[in-house]
Amino acid sequence: MLSQKMIDKLNEQIKVEFESSNLYLQMAAWCSWKGYEGGEAFLNLHSEEERMHMMKLYTYLGETGALAVISAMEKPQAEYDSLASMFEQILEHERFVTSKINDLVALAYEEKDFSTLNFLQWYVAEQHEEETLFSSLVDKIKLIGHDGRGLYLIDKELRKQATAAAAAPAEG
């Protein structure tokens, strides 16, 4: 059985994951608007992944007899200065998500809640993977540059990443 404090924090994380999903969907829409088809495909997939992260929390809360609560969402920023700055923003956002997961892990330790601690290990590994991915994309964008040809190559790289992610077996 989870403590009320843990239930509240897991519900806060549901909001964080849902907002991540909405943010990436909005970014996908901006990419589509700008003609970055690779970026759109890549961010659409990431939006779906974040929804799956949210659903894992929802399921865990239900399994432990707690009520999952869906909160009001912050409206994501609709327009971006450039593809490069958008990806820097994503990396910053993922670092924020990691800090929220770390807070949850710390609480689980403090409460000797080993079931939740075990459940959270998946998120710890996932955040490591996502920070590595986005940090390498930010580095690539810096390296390639953002003139017309650079943007074309970045968009191509994002299309490649989206295709690889779509072909990978679904996690869960």
User: What minimum distance in Å lies between the beta carbon of 19 and ligand OFO?
Assistant: 10
3, with CB counted inside 10 A (0-12, 13-18, 19+), is middle
Contact criterion met (CB below 8 Å) for 73 and 24: no
Count the site residues for ligand OFO by CB under 6 A. Answer: 10
User: What minimum distance in Å lies between the beta carbon of 149 and ligand OFO?
Assistant: 30
Token reading at 14: 């549901």
Q: Which is nearer to ligand OFO, 15 or 53 (CB)?
A: 53
9-68 binders of ligand OFO (CB under 6 A): 17, 20, 50, 53
Token reading at 115: 């079931």
The alpha helices in the chain, defined as continuous H runs, are: 4-34, 37-63, 83-110, 114-144, 148-167
User: What minimum distance in Å lies between the beta carbon of 52 and ligand OFO?
Assistant: 9
CA 157/CA 163 separation, integer angstroms: 10
User: What minimum distance in Å lies between the beta carbon of 152 and ligand OFO?
Assistant: 27
The reply to whether 126 sits near ligand OFO by the rule CB under 6 A is yes
Q: Position of tokens 């996908």?
A: 28
Contact residues toward ligand OFO (CB under 6 A) are 17, 20, 50, 53, 94, 97, 123, 126-127, 130
